[in-house]
């Protein structure tokens, strides 16, 4: 068994996010447990870039309202209590809606592969 103390809140890197996003790392994957867990806080209108995860990603929305989209799919509204599962290698993005903050718990196993930033057309659902 291993005890980890919470580290300082980190600002999400500009290469991976549009807008102001803050990350509280809850658990870093290691030999004892490969799962990484973080609370990710999105300010209104902020979002991730396109990305995928080896091993997939599960999101549990704990506050606010947000948006998610899989490559080629529709933009979907999410709210408190929703669970979003992106499969192994599934390219997707997620973030807050334009008028609300949103926090989700992100649970991943494996590395992320980051792609381009989301266009405003993709964010507002006018372009896939």
- Using 50, 70 and 90 to split pLDDT, how confident is the model at 29? confident
Q: Is residue 3 part of a domain?
A: no
Domains contained in the chain, number: 1
> Bigger pLDDT: 83 or 31?
83
pLDDT tens digits along 71-108: 999 999 999 999 999 999 999 999 999 999 999 999 99
- Cα distance between residue 52 and residue 54, in whole Å: 7
Residue 116: CB atoms within 10 Å: 10
Residue 2 confidence (pLDDT) above 80: no
Q: Is residue 44 part of a domain?
A: yes
pTM over 0.85: yes
Residue 44 confidence (pLDDT) above 80: yes
Domain boundaries, position 17:
10-114
Q: Is residue 50 part of a domain?
A: yes
Q: Is residue 21 part of a domain?
A: yes
- Cα distance between residue 51 and residue 11, in whole Å: 18
Cβ atoms 91, 49 nearer than 8 A: no
Q: Is 101 helix (H, G, I), strand (E, B) or coil?
A: coil
Strand partners, 25: 38
Strand partners, 18: 47
Q: Is residue 123 part of a domain?
A: no
Q: Is residue 2 part of a domain?
A: no
Q: Is residue 93 part of a domain?
A: yes
Q: Is residue 1 part of a domain?
A: no
Residue 10: DSSP 8-state:
E
Helices (H), the chain: 120-123
């Amino acid at each position: 068994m291993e005890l980890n103390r919470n580290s300082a809140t980190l600002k999400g890197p500009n290469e991976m996010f549009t807008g102001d996003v803050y990350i509280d790392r809850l658990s870093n994957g290691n030999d004892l447990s490969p799962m990484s867990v973080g609370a990710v806080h999105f300010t209104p209108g902020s979002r991730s870039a396109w990305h995928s995860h080896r091993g997939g990603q599960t999101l549990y929305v704990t506050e606010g309202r947000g948006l998610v989209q899989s490559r080629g799919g529709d933009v979907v509204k999410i709210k408190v209590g929703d669970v979003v599962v992106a499969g192994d290698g599934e390219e997707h993005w997620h973030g807050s809606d334009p008028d609300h903050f949103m926090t989700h718990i992100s649970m991943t196993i494996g590395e992320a592969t980051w792609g381009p930033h989301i266009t405003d057309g993709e964010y507002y659902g006018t372009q896939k």
